[in-house]
């Protein structure tokens, strides 16, 4: 009941499209190993495959669950459906969405920002699909460039470059909100070391989301105590 | 017959099997794009803004796609052309696909990614593991996203603190993703790159604002990122 109050017809269409297309995609993906085994008459070693599956699932299943809850509020529903199917969220879809939101000058979390985020992610998905396809066809042409020793430092430092360009404008725009999460991230890295924090990043993400919410609560309380020039009364 | 898995892996038939999910992902992206553009019109978002977002996202996405090609090149000699193409186009990331393949090969008692003499059975095992182990997030989307999204929207609608909290979540995400890089003293080049790209984007944004330069305004993010990456080529000589 509550759902219909908070969703618009656009939201309902997004969820319908997202659910149907995801189910179709899941079936198509499951058809790949099934069809390969059947059409090429390959015997499946169920025991060894299941053992390997549990090994991989114990790691990526947990990460997938955490990422589901962490990314959805930032990417919006449409962006979340698309990103989960196309992957490369932290290094491509999330930056594409946040960069699009910044460019459009809408506030993150608004309806407009959600629409912009979905558009940016859809375009990013199409571009990546095209590049990977071209890469598959012409990899021998690309490889000498991609693996050249001169360019190697540039590619191995892509994430620091991406994060600097993405995070700094947002931190500067909302310095108060960013201050405590950034400070705690810095202390944590100094205490535990970079490699430990980087390895735990997926698990730390929800912790930092909760931390940010708590810090926003503190800031909100301070704001309320300030002398009221403008009324900030909440509608009940 | 045991070692002819590469003839399966590079066969035309497997190409068509892999093509189906890739076509679906393209259709899905186009449908979401059309739906969102229509909604943008309903919300009176100027078409110019949407075009800027599209151009920015397209240009930006080229650079992070390039390292994916390196993973493609690593996986292709082991898994043939088409499975790495599918896996790196749909759901997977470079790290996940490499790890899933490596774990499966090892569970079959072989040496791991690259060193193994695979059989068709191991090959199909790898495809199964790569496919199944990462489906959690899409499955949760089907089952939970609608109600989770509705809850988030009710927080936003309620205004006050909860609306501010939902709107600020991405800052927490950027803090844990971005700040640790600045304290990775084993990679001083990375620290320099992060600082340079951060300074460059601020400069670009200010210049764009002062001069009204549209190109700088629209592409400040991908440009700053590329300048940061290029600076690594020079910084590596200093450290």
Q: Is the pLDDT of residue A42 over 60?
A: yes
The H-or-E segment that residue A208 falls in is helix A201-225
Alpha-carbon distance B208 to nearest alpha carbon in chain A (angstroms): 12
Instruction: Determine the average pLDDT of the residues in A64-82.
Output: 91
Q: Is the pLDDT of residue B104 over 90?
A: no
C-alpha to C-alpha distance for B122 and B114, rounded to whole angstroms: 13
Q: Is the pLDDT of residue B215 over 90?
A: no
Instruction: Determine the average pLDDT of the residues in B209-214.
Output: 89
- Neighbour-count burial of B145, counting CB atoms closer than 10 A to its CB (0-12 exposed, 13-18 middle, 19+ buried): buried
- Residue A224's pLDDT band, with cuts at 50, 70 and 90, is confident
Asked, for residue B25, whether it belongs to a domain, the answer is: yes
Give chain B's domain count: 1
Query: Which of A119, A157, A210 is facing B36, going by the closest CB pair?
Result: A119
Tell me the residues of chain B between 48 and 77 that have a Cβ less than 8 Å away from chain A.
49-50, 52-54, 56-58, 60-70, 72-73, 76
Query: Which of B25, B33, B134 is facing A119, going by the closest CB pair?
Result: B33
Query: Which of A31, A52, A167 is facing B129, going by the closest CB pair?
Result: A52
Alpha-carbon distance B113 to nearest alpha carbon in chain A (angstroms): 14
B216 inside 8 A of chain A by CB: no
Our CA dihedral for A83, A9, A108, A106, rounded to 10 degrees, sits at 120
Q: Which two tokens stand for residue B144?
A: 């939970």
Instruction: Decide if A177 contacts A216 (C-beta within 8 A).
Output: yes
Instruction: Determine the average pLDDT of the residues in A111-125.
Output: 96
Asked, for residue B152, whether it belongs to a domain, the answer is: yes
C-alpha to C-alpha distance for B16 and A136, rounded to whole angstroms: 14
Kindly determine whether residue B180 and residue A124, on different chains, have CB atoms separated by under 8 Å. Answer: no
Instruction: Decide if B77 contacts A143 (C-beta within 8 A).
Output: no
Asked, for residue B221, whether it belongs to a domain, the answer is: no
**Domain range holding B109?**
5-183
Query: Which of A30, A99, A111 is facing B221, going by the closest CB pair?
Result: A99
Asked, for residue B114, whether it belongs to a domain, the answer is: yes
Query: Which of B24, B53, B217 is facing A100, going by the closest CB pair?
Result: B53
pLDDT for the residue B75:
85
Task: Give B72-132 as a 3 state SS string.
Answer: HHHHHHHHCCHHHHHHHHCCCCHHHHHHHHHHHHHHCCCCCCCCCCCCHHHHHHHHHHHHH
Q: How many residue contacts between A and B have a Cβ separation below 8 Å?
A: 554
Q: Which residues in B lie closer than 8 A to residue A168 (C-beta atoms)?
A: 197-199, 201-202
Other beta carbons within 10 Å of B206: 12
Asked, for residue B197, whether it belongs to a domain, the answer is: no
The interface predicted TM-score (ipTM) is: 0.88
Instruction: Decide if A94 contacts A74 (C-beta within 8 A).
Output: yes
**Which of the two residues, A125 and A236, has the higher pLDDT score?**
A125
Please compute, for residue B81, the number of CA atoms within 13 A of its CA located in the half-sphere on the CB side: 18
C-alpha to C-alpha distance for B110 and B94, rounded to whole angstroms: 21
Instruction: Decide if B133 contacts A87 (C-beta within 8 A).
Output: no
Asked, for residue B88, whether it belongs to a domain, the answer is: yes
At which residue do the structure tokens 């985020």 appear?
A: A117
Kindly determine whether residue B228 and residue A161, on different chains, have CB atoms separated by under 8 Å. Answer: yes
Instruction: Determine the average pLDDT of the residues in B76-104.
Output: 86
Alpha-carbon distance B115 to nearest alpha carbon in chain A (angstroms): 18
C-alpha to C-alpha distance for B182 and A160, rounded to whole angstroms: 8
Kindly give, in sequence order, each residue whose CB lies less than 8 Å from that of residue B179, ignoring residues fewer than 6 positions away. Answer: A167, A182, A185, A186, A189
Kindly determine whether residue A6 and residue B217, on different chains, have CB atoms separated by under 8 Å. Answer: no
- Residue B1's pLDDT band, with cuts at 50, 70 and 90, is very low
Instruction: Determine the average pLDDT of the residues in B8-31.
Output: 96
pLDDT for the residue A7:
65
Instruction: Decide if B219 contacts B52 (C-beta within 8 A).
Output: no
Give backbone dihedrals phi and psi of A175, rounded to 5 degrees, phi first.
-60, -40
Kindly determine whether residue A92 and residue B197, on different chains, have CB atoms separated by under 8 Å. Answer: no
Sign of CA dihedral A173, A174, A180, A185: negative
Instruction: Determine the average pLDDT of the residues in A206-213.
Output: 92
B91 inside 8 A of chain A by CB: yes
Q: Which residues in A lie closer than 8 A to residue B97 (C-beta atoms)?
A: none
Q: Is the pLDDT of residue A233 over 50?
A: no
B156 inside 8 A of chain A by CB: yes
Asked, for residue B89, whether it belongs to a domain, the answer is: yes
C-alpha to C-alpha distance for B97 and A48, rounded to whole angstroms: 18
Alpha-carbon distance B211 to nearest alpha carbon in chain A (angstroms): 16
Instruction: Decide if B90 contacts B22 (C-beta within 8 A).
Output: yes
Q: Which residues in B lie closer than 8 A to residue A33 (C-beta atoms)?
A: 124, 127-128, 131
Instruction: Determine the average pLDDT of the residues in A170-178.
Output: 92
Query: Which of B36, B99, B182 is facing A118, going by the closest CB pair?
Result: B36
- Residue B115's pLDDT band, with cuts at 50, 70 and 90, is low
Other beta carbons within 10 Å of A135: 26
- Neighbour-count burial of A191, counting CB atoms closer than 10 A to its CB (0-12 exposed, 13-18 middle, 19+ buried): exposed
pLDDT for the residue B169:
86
Instruction: Determine the average pLDDT of the residues in B46-58.
Output: 95
Nearest residue in chain B measured CA to CA from A79: B32
Kindly determine whether residue B90 and residue A86, on different chains, have CB atoms separated by under 8 Å. Answer: yes
Q: pTM, whole model, 2 decimals?
A: 0.86
Instruction: Determine the average pLDDT of the residues in B196-201.
Output: 96
Asked, for residue B233, whether it belongs to a domain, the answer is: no
Q: Is the pLDDT of residue A230 over 60?
A: no
Kindly determine whether residue A158 and residue B67, on different chains, have CB atoms separated by under 8 Å. Answer: yes
Query: Which of B147, B153, B180 is facing A198, going by the closest CB pair?
Result: B180
The H-or-E segment that residue B28 falls in is helix B12-42
Average pLDDT, rounded, for chain A: 88
Instruction: Determine the average pLDDT of the residues in B215-226.
Output: 90
**Which of the two residues, B64 and B198, has the higher pLDDT score?**
B198
Nearest to A166 by CA among B168, B225, B55: B225
């Amino acid at each position: 009941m509550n759902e219909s109050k908070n969703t618009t017809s656009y939201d309902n269409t997004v969820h319908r499209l997202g659910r149907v297309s995801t189910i179709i995609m899941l079936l198509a993906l499951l058809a790949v190993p099934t069809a390969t085994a059947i059409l090429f008459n390959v015997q499946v070693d169920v025991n060894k495959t299941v053992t390997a599956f549990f090994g991989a699932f114990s790691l990526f299943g947990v990460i997938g669950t955490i990422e589901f809850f962490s990314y959805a509020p930032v990417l919006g529903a449409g962006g979340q459906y698309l990103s989960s199917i196309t992957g490369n969220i932290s290094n491509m879809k999330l930056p594409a969405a946040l960069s699009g939101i910044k460019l459009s000058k809408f506030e993150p979390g608004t309806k407009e920002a959600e629409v912009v985020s979905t558009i940016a992610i859809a375009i990013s998905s199409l571009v990546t699909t095209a590049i990977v396809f071209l890469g598959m066809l012409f990899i021998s042409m690309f490889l000498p460039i991609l693996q050249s020793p001169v360019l190697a430092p540039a590619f191995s430092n892509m994430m620091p470059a991406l994060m600097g360009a993405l995070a700094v404008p947002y931190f500067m725009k909302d310095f108060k909100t960013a201050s405590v999460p950034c400070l705690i991230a810095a202390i944590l890295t100094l205490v535990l070391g970079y490699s430990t924090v980087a390895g735990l990043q997926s698990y730390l993400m929800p912790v930092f989301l909760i931390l940010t919410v708590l810090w926003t609560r503190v800031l909100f309380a301070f704001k309320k105590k300030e002398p009221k020039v403008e009324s900030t009364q909440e509608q009940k | 017959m045991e070692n002819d898995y590469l003839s399966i892996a590079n066969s035309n038939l497997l190409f068509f099997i892999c093509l189906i999910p890739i076509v679906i992902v393209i259709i899905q992206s186009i449908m979401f794009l059309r739906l969102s553009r229509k909604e943008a019109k309903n919300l009176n978002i100027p078409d110019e803004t949407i075009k800027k977002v599209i151009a920015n996202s397209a240009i930006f996405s080229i650079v992070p796609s390039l390292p994916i090609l390196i993973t493609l090149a690593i996986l292709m000699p082991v898994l043939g052309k088409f499975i790495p193409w599918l896996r790196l186009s749909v759901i997977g990331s470079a790290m996940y696909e490499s790890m899933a393949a490596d774990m499966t090969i090892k569970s079959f008692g072989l040496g791991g990614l690259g060193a193994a003499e695979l059989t068709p059975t191991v090959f199909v095992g790898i495809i199964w593991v790569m496919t199944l182990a990462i489906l959690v997030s899409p499955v949760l989307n089907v089952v939970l996203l609608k109600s989770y999204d509705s809850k988030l929207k009710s927080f936003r609608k309620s205004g006050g603190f909860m609306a501010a909290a939902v709107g600020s979540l991405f800052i927490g995400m950027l803090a844990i993703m971005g700040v640790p890089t600045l304290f990775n003293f084993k990679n001083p080049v990375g620290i320099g790159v992060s600082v340079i790209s951060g300074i460059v984007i601020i400069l670009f944004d200010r210049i764009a604002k002062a001069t009204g330069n549209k190109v700088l305004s629209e592409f400040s993010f991908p440009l700053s990122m590329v300048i940061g990456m290029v600076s690594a080529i020079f910084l590596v000589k200093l450290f």
